[in-house]
Structure formats: C-alpha cells, structure tokens
C-alpha cells in the first residue's frame, strides 16, 4: 500500500513507454471504430460490406498485442487489453449478425403466393383470397413501428 503511494509520483514523472503509447492508440482505434459502428446501426445505415470495420477492429487488436511486445507499464497495460477485447469481440458479432433465409424454402419471382390468413391492427380477420384480382405490395418488417 505505502509503496504504491510512493510509486505514484514516479509514474507521473516518467515519460510514457513506447508500448503504452501504442496501447493507447490501439484502444482509441477500437473505441472510435466501435462508436462509428453503433452510430450507423442506430441510423439503420450499416454498409453492405463490413470488411473495413473488421479490418479496423483486427488492427486495433494487433496493435494491442504489439503494445505488449514493446512493453508497457502496468497501468499502461489496460488500454491495449481493452483494444484486444473490443478488437476481437466486435468483429465476431459483426460476422454473425447477418441474416439468411432457407434458399429452397423462400418464395421467388414467378411463384404464386401462398394462401394465408391473419388478424390486422383492428383485430379484423383477413384472408389472402381477398387479394385476388388486385395488384398487391406486401412488405415484411423486422422492426417495430
């Protein structure tokens, strides 16, 4: 405990180790990339290709590892650990948060739509036979109104 207190002034005095600088850069990269990703997600405007996000995250994680190679102080080890965790965890989430349909089950152009019935927002019954003879647009939503 007491040695910690006497160490602190030394910590403030010493110049930052190379590894610590790299670690901080890695952490900032990871945070900025993550922030941008979640901003785009909230605007429902994520790009089709996520390659650059994955590249940025993996770069942050790699820099984090490199920071340790270049040696950090014990406090300076925290940012690169953060960079490695974010840089490895988020690309995994991005890679699996895609969607897919079963190719042999999904309806295709040229198919006739199936019959279906359901209840609408006013609790009225609806049957697809009422669509006969009409031009129809059907929209399937994922999100709530």
Partner 1 sequence: MRAEFDRRGVQVLTVSVDSPEEIAEGRHMHGSQATMLSDTGLQITDAFGLRNTGFHSAPGSEEAEALPVPATLLIDRSGKVLWMDLSEDYQRRSDPSVVLAAMQAHFDTL
- Please give the residue ranges that form the binding site for partner 1 (CB under 8 A): 41, 44-46, 48, 96-102, 105-116, 118-123, 126, 131-145
In the complex, minimum distance from the CB of residue 54 to partner 1, in angstroms, rounded to a whole number: 15
In whole angstroms, how close is the CB of 87 to partner 1 at the nearest point? 20
Q: How far is the CB of 128 from partner 1 (least distance, A)?
A: 8
Q: Which is nearer to partner 1, 74 or 105 (CB)?
A: 105
User: Measuring CA to CA, which residue among 74, 92, 75, 76 is closest to residue 25?
Assistant: 76
CB closer to partner 1, 32 vs 97: 97
Kindly report each contact of residues 1-6 with a partner whose C-beta sits within 8 Å and lies 24 or more positions away, as own/partner.
none
Q: Which two three-digit tokens encode residue 105?
A: 């089950």
Measured from the CB of residue 141, what is the shortest distance to partner 1 in angstroms?
4
Identify which of residues 10 and 120 has a Cβ nearer to partner 1 in the complex: 120
Contacts made by residues 121-124, CB under 8 angstroms, sequence distance 24+: none
Query: CA angle, corner 109, sides to 105 and 114, nearest 5?
Result: 55
Residue from 31, 92, 30 nearest 63 by CA: 30
Looking at the Cβ atoms of 3 and 98, the one nearer to partner 1 is 98
């Amino acid at each position: 405990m007491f040695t910690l207190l006497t160490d602190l002034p030394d910590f403030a005095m010493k110049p930052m180790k190379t590894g610590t600088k790299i670690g901080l850069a890695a952490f900032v990269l990871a945070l900025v990339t993550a922030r941008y990703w979640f901003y785009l997600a909230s605007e429902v405007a994520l790009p089709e290709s996520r390659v650059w996000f994955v590249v940025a995250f993996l770069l942050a994680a790699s820099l984090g590892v490199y920071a340790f190679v270049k040696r950090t102080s014990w406090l300076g080890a925290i940012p690169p650990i953060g960079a490695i965790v974010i840089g490895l965890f988020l690309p995994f989430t991005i890679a699996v948060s895609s969607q897919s349909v079963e190719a042999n089950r999904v309806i295709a152009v040229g198919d006739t739509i199936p019959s279906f019935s359901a209840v609408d927002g006013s609790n009225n019954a609806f049957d697809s036979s009422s669509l006969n003879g009409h031009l129809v647009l059907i929209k399937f939503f994922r999100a709530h109104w």
